[in-house]
Amino acid sequence: MEEVVHSFFSIALELTLLFVGVSFAINLLQGFIPYKRMEELLDKSHPLVSAGIAIGFAFVTPFCSCSTIPIVVNLLRNRVRFSIVMIFLFASPVLDLTILTLMTAILGWKVSLTYSIVTIVLSTIIGFSLSALGFRDQLKNVLVENFSYPETKKLNIRYAFSETWTLMRTVYPFLLIGAGIGSIIHGSIPSEWISTYMGGENWWLVPIAAIIGIPLYIRLATMIPLSQILIAKGMALGPVMALMIASAGASLPEVTLLHSIFKRKLVFAFVTSVLMMSTISGFLFYLI
């Protein structure tokens, strides 16, 4: 029980600092962000070029899944294409130059390169698919109500505080709920249990690993060293990668945060897409 409580406060504090910090920084710099130019570029560019911009943005934003949400909110509020925002939402938590460097050092460059290619391709496919299927209509009104951003190129601290507070009032209860559920599960499922029951080359281990990864709040920086231990204990690379991508791409805290801005249908589609992404990736890693 003590470990669960400690885990809850640790996760809640980390998420709060990340979420508030990212939200405040973005709102503080709103006047300097060329959203209109970005919108024009994304509207006039070929969809694949726009997708490339989103992927590039994902590479240089070293955020966990939860701290990606404020950026997603701002992109949607500024009418950036839904498909492009979804590509960024899926790619940002699982792509990071620092983490990829660590992955290369621990698991090798082939694993790192394959991981990058697979996650880029699948994030792009999923983003365009959700847009084509009409999920743009599944956004809640919180994204568009009473929103404006300063036009002048100056730091507006009062505006940044106001917008951050407004966003936090909407989503913070969901953050605490997700942190509580995630800490209970995280403290109840030790890595030894996973390696004992998830060892071997059976194909069904991949989807099971993906399902297990969803409720675990494990950042990639933590999951990569853990993956080395799991592989050393006998767990195949496919299930390990499925577990890694699922836990980084759709943790419970992120899902609860998304529920505050997405309608239920889109939240379900998001979780299903991450499960598909992690499962397909796991199967592809069997080919290495």
Q: What is the DSSP string of 24-82?
A: HHHHHTGGGS-HHHHHHHHHHS-HHHHHHHHHHHHHT----TGGGHHHHHHHHHTT--H
108 contact partners, CB below 8 Å, separation of at least 6: none
Distance from C-alpha of 207 to C-alpha of 209, rounded to nearest angstrom: 5
pLDDT of residue 94 exceeding 50? yes
Question: Does the pLDDT at position 1 exceed 90?
Answer: no
Q: For residue 149, what pLDDT is reported?
A: 47
Which pLDDT score, from 0 to 100, does residue 250 have? 77
- For residues 195 and 226, the model is more confident at 226
134: left (phi over 0), alpha (psi -120 to 50) or beta: left
Helix axes 97-107, 220-232, angle to 10 degrees: 10
Which tokens is 220 given? 């990639």
Tell me if residue 288 falls in helix, strand or coil. Answer: coil
The pLDDT confidence band at residue 153, using thresholds 50, 70 and 90, is low
Q: Return the closest-CA partner of residue 143 out of 85, 86, 78, 91.
A: 78
**Neighbour tally for 1: CB within 10 Å:** 7
Residue type, 257: L
pLDDT value of position 173: 74
